[in-house]
Amino acid sequence: MPTRSSVPLLGGQTSFLLFITFFTFGMAAILVKVPPEMGGALVVGIIVFISTFMSAEAGLYLLIVSMLLSPEFGAGGLGDGNDTTSSRGVTLRAEDILLVLLGFAWLARTAVNKDLGLIRPTPLNAPIGSYVAICLLATLAGFIAGHVRGITGFFYVLKYIEYFIVYFLICNNIHSHRQIEKFLVVMLVTAFIVCLTAIAQIPSGARVSAPFEGERGEPNTLGGYLILVGSVTACLALHLKNKKLTRYLWSLLGLMIIPFFATLSRGSYLALPFVYGTVAYFRPGKRVQMVAVLVLISAVGVIFMPKSVVERITYTFNQGYTQQEKKKIGNVELDTSTSERLTSYQEALTDGLKSPLWGYGVTGYGFLDAQYPRIWVETGLLGLFFFFSLLYNVAKQSLKLFKETEIPLYRGLSMGLICGVVGLIVHGLGANTFTIVRVMEPFWLISGLVVSAYKLEMADRASAELERADAEHSELEEADTEVDAVETKNKLV
């Protein structure tokens, strides 16, 4: 007779088999009527779904690789064509589809095995939920007020939620220290491939960008990605004890420097010294040496820096004559691009005062190429509060792991995320850094690894404490037994 606990599992397996049967018949009927190339894509999707259902870890490896190495499928604006959002298309990539498949596979696994749970409790669940809620609230309010037209705004909010799905998938599927090591290896190997493809673009004379960026690449995106992954790489190299691995990491970091400067991304250049300063802050015994190294690198860089990089930096202050209006800071005249960005800052700050609490809604104001005025004008003070609260909690969890662990891998990973957060905050002054899919997916991957590492560390400590308590209890029992034996012997005597 089956036990009470086995009945739900048996029922879940039966339901899943019935689902697969009907799904197979349905797909067979569809494949007969679709073009061959679409049929091939559907078959690949089914294979990925079944594979990730059987092994979620395999699907996550594929997801990490696809974050930077997947093609995009551009989708036009979803507005009515006469509004500020109509020009803001929603871009779909292969990893978007993969995330959907991973999500459905995870739902199927939780239906079969109810012990897995849909979303594990983590310290970032509440901050993430609060930020998503205010984005939805602001967009709904903007839609009612007529600022958000069509459904583009809601699709953009869905894209934000997609980044967080990466975080939850990582947290839900990590059960061992070995998994964290393997995920990091896949991430760094992907970064190596990205750097090679970017370096191959340098002879063309154009600014380099990440693979599969379409006809018009986004050098700023690659710069932000390299700031984040480069921070983790450098901090791992500083903490790991294995000299062979350390040499590989320093070599990878040296390789990253080449495409980083070839992006000609001034926002990324600006973030670099802040990352370096954060690394120096966490190494108090090495600060003097690090300052000396910085001075040396700066001096050598001025001499040997490529001409294109020097011109890109100095262009900010010596663009030359143009009929377009330029901004001035004191007596320093800025180039037209920086001037336009500052003008958009001023306009957004002023217009945001008309709806200061929750803004105009996501995509309800128009395009702004800067993170913080965009958050302000789209989601208001509430959005800014919950956004920075979320970043604060990410940094807080990283700092807790860094302070409480003795594992070199975890110290390097947590310190790298803190440095990456600092760099991305600075990068966001001139780009929509925290809405860029190719920066945010790796960011939430690393955040998930840090939170999971902390939970594993605490679980190991609790287990060690329990073993210690058991050992002490056994010693006390042995001592009591010896005392009883002595007392019995004395009575007999």
Kindly report the average pLDDT of the chain as a whole number: 80
d(CA 282, CA 299): 24
With vertex at residue 437, the alpha carbon angle to CA 388 and CA 49, rounded to the nearest 5 degrees, is 120
Q: Which of 48 and 309 is assigned the larger pLDDT? A: 309
pLDDT band at 410 (very low <50, low <70, confident <90, very high): very high
pLDDT, tens digit, 9 for 90 and up, residues 435-444: 888 899 999 9
Over residues 368-376, the mean pLDDT reads: 91
Three-state secondary structure call for residue 432: coil
Over residues 102-126, the mean pLDDT reads: 71
Are residues 137 and 386 in contact, defined by beta-carbon separation less than 8 angstroms?
no
pLDDT, tens digit, 9 for 90 and up, residues 115-129: 555 678 899 999 999
pLDDT at 172: 87
pLDDT at 50: 62
Length of the chain: 493
Q: Which of 11 and 446 is assigned the larger pLDDT? A: 446
Over residues 344-369, the mean pLDDT reads: 89
Q: Which of 333 and 41 is assigned the larger pLDDT? A: 333
pLDDT, tens digit, 9 for 90 and up, residues 203-222: 888 889 888 776 667 899 99
Say which residue the tokens 């190997």 belong to: 189
pLDDT at 49: 59
Highest-confidence range of 281-290, 341-350, 357-366, 396-405, by mean pLDDT?
396-405
pLDDT band at 8 (very low <50, low <70, confident <90, very high): very low
Question: Residue 258: is its pLDDT beyond 70?
Answer: yes
Question: Residue 347: is its pLDDT beyond 50?
Answer: yes
pLDDT at 187: 96
DSSP 458: H
For the whole model, what pTM was predicted? 0.82
pLDDT at 5: 39
414's CB contacts (< 8 A; 6+ apart) are 398, 399, 401, 402, 405, 450, 453
d(CA 129, CA 465): 34
pLDDT at 326: 62
pLDDT at 468: 75
Q: Which two tokens stand for residue 3?
A: 């036990």
Percent of the chain at pLDDT > 70 equals: 70
DSSP 207: P
Going from N- to C-terminal start, the domains of the chain cover 122-492
Over residues 268-286, the mean pLDDT reads: 91
Q: Is residue 316 packed enough to be buried (19+ CB in 10 Å), middle (13-18) or exposed (0-12)?
A: middle
**Amino acid, res. 436:** I
Main-chain dihedrals φ then ψ at residue 383, nearest 5 degrees: -65, -45
pLDDT at 278: 95
Question: Residue 434: is its pLDDT beyond 80?
Answer: yes
pLDDT at 417: 97
Name the residue among 85, 124, 118 with its Cα closest to residue 455: 124
